[in-house]
Each structure stands twice: as C-alpha cells, then as structure tokens.
Amino acid sequence: MFKIIVCIKQVPGTTHVNIDPVTGTLIRDGVAAKMNPYDLEALELGLTLAKDNEGTLTVLSMGPDGALSVIREAIYMGAQEGVLLSDRKFGGADVLATSYTLSEGIKAIGDHDLIITGKQTTDGDTAQVGSELAEHLGIPHLANVRSVKVHDGKLNCVYSLDQKTVTADIDLPCLICTDSGINTPRLPSYRRKLEYGDAKEQIRIFHFTDMEDQDESHYGLKGSATKVEKIFEPEKKAEKQMYTEGDLSEKTYEILKENKFI
C-alpha cells in the first residue's frame, strides 16, 4: 500500500486581515479561516497519486482545535484520515520549530512513502517548512514539483528550476513541495460530508506527550531560532498613468523594466 502524507495549514480566509498594533501579529480571532490554497494543490496531487497507485492519503496539520475544520475538509475532498498536532507547547513556532514538530508528528504516524507540502502558505509565506521537514526526517526532497509518477520504487518528478524544467528520479520515501498552479483542486463533496460528518473516527489528535522527543525546548516559541519583530501592511499605490502616444509596446517594456517586473 502506497502511503502518502500531505501537510496542510489553516490560514485566514481573506487577505483583509488586521495586525495587532502592539504585538505586531495577525489578529486571527473572528476572521474566517480556510485551507492554505497552495496546500489544496498538494492535496489534489496526492489524491490523484493515491488513486493511481491504490494508496492511502493522510493529511497532517498543526494548530489549535479550530484547524480540525481544514482536516475535515480534506476528508470531504477524499483523504482517508487526518492527524492534528495540537498543544499549547507547540504555539509560537517559527519555521525551525514548526518543521521539527511536523517531523515528530510524522514519526508518530508511522510508515509512509511520500510526503507532499504546498509551495508556501499565504500567511507565513516563507516556503521553507517543506524543505526543513525533509532535513529533520533525513529523506531526499525536491521543491517546485509540477508532476510526478511512481515507478520501480522511485518517484519520477518534473520540477521547475528558474527558467528550466528538470526531470529527476528520487528514492522513496521522500518529500516534495509542489509548485503553484499545477492543477485545479477538486471541490469538497457534500456526499462525503453526509457520510463522515465531523469525521471523529478518521481524525486523531496528537499532543506533546505523544511525541517521541520529550524535550520541550525543541517545540513552539522555545524551539524557535527566529523571532518576528513586527508585521506591517505595505503601502498601497493606486495611481494610474495613461499613455496614448508613441510606441506603446516599447513604453510598456520600459515601465516594466524600470519597476523591476522584468
């Protein structure tokens, strides 16, 4: 049985979030939440792979109990089971502590052939958790993966490297981070919602005590090597310029170049 784990995260449901002026952190209370859109693409790839290889798919998330809703959503989309890593000791984690906690969670889940993460999250935006998770687990990994096939115990991956597309075989078990825009994720099914309801039987919650490493200093705020000093909203520019004369394609090129878009 080919076992796939897909890491997912609950993020704010809109781009209109407020920032606490004192702590400089995102105010998440009262803001609608959703599954990180990049993770939906990872999940879609995982579900397709699981179907093609007669495998199973487990989703893994870390967060407060509210994050159960994205695990349920993944089950309504087709995942067989979900695991939530939830403990106050996990709170305030940076990339290092998050990826370490996830690696401990994966050890607690047990055997697996493939781990898939999305490209990045829409709230943290670091795009580093996937790669660091693979390092903690000591398994090979590739980022910006656009498509994959399983053959002869290896994973054949097509991935982007700046302006090049590369094809590579990597040994299983391994971890891949998907590129953005690689598929259109399927939608959650009402029939599966009727069938699984709150999916209590399909979801397990792991706490700090379920982790193999019982050293608290490796988790959460204590296990974080970095600290966010301040988050602020970038200034919005709404000015418009109109050009009607001359070589407009040349002008467009100049403006894009001047603003470093190309």
Partner 1 sequence: MYKKIDENDINYLRSFLPKERILTGDEISNDYAHDELGGIESLPEVLIYPLSTEEVSEIMRYAYEHDIPVVARGSGTDLVGAAVALHGGIMICTKMMDHILELDENNLTVTVEPGVLLMDLQAYVEEHDFLYPPDPGEKSATIGGNISTNAGGMRAVKYGVTRDYVRGLTVVLPDGRIEQFGSKCVKSSSGYDLKDLIIGSEGTLCIITEAILKIVPLPEQSVSMLLPFPSMEKAIEVVPELIRSKASLTAIEYMSLDTILSAEQFLGKKFPDTNFEAYILLTFDGNDLSQIEKEYTKVADLCLSMGAIDGYFVDTEERKKSVWSARGAFLEAINASTDEMDECDVVVPKSRISDFIKYTHEVSKEVGIRIPSFGHAGDGNLHIYICRDSRPEEEWKDKLNKAFDLLYARAREYGGQVSGEHGIGYAKKEYLKKQLGEDQIELMRNIKKVFDPKNLLNPDKVI
For partner 1, the closer CB: 35 or 176: 35
Binding piece for partner 1, criterion CB under 8 A, among 33-41, 49-57, 131-139, 213-221: 33-41
Under rule CB under 8 A, residue 244 binds partner 1:
yes
Q: How far is the CB of 227 from partner 1 (least distance, A)?
A: 31
Under rule CB under 8 A, residue 37 binds partner 1:
yes
Under rule CB under 8 A, residue 28 binds partner 1:
no
Candidates 48, 131, 189, 224; binder of partner 1 (CB under 8 A) is 189
Burial of 205 (0-12, 13-18, 19+ CB in 10 A): middle
Using omega within 30 degrees of 0 as the cis cutoff, is the peptide bond preceding 21 cis?
A: no
Candidates 22, 111, 125, 184; binder of partner 1 (CB under 8 A) is 184
3-class secondary-structure state, position 36? coil
Residues comprising the chain, all counted: 262
Under rule CB under 8 A, residue 186 binds partner 1:
yes
Binding piece for partner 1, criterion CB under 8 A, among 47-55, 108-116, 188-196, 203-211: 188-196
Angle at alpha carbon of residue 164, lines to 144 and 168, rounded to 5°: 60
Amino acid at 201: E
> From CA 112, how far away is CA 110, in angstroms rounded?
7
Question: Do residues 213 and 178 touch, judged by C-beta distance below 8 A?
Answer: no
Under rule CB under 8 A, residue 48 binds partner 1:
no
Question: Do residues 124 and 94 touch, judged by C-beta distance below 8 A?
Answer: no
Candidates 6, 40, 68, 170; binder of partner 1 (CB under 8 A) is 40
Q: How far is the CB of 43 from partner 1 (least distance, A)?
A: 12
Q: How far is the CB of 17 from partner 1 (least distance, A)?
A: 13
Residue 3: how many CB atoms within 10 A of its CB? 19
For partner 1, the closer CB: 34 or 146: 34
Question: Do residues 184 and 170 touch, judged by C-beta distance below 8 A?
Answer: no
Can you give the binding site for partner 1, defined by CB under 8 A?
13-14, 34-35, 37, 40, 76, 183-191, 244-245
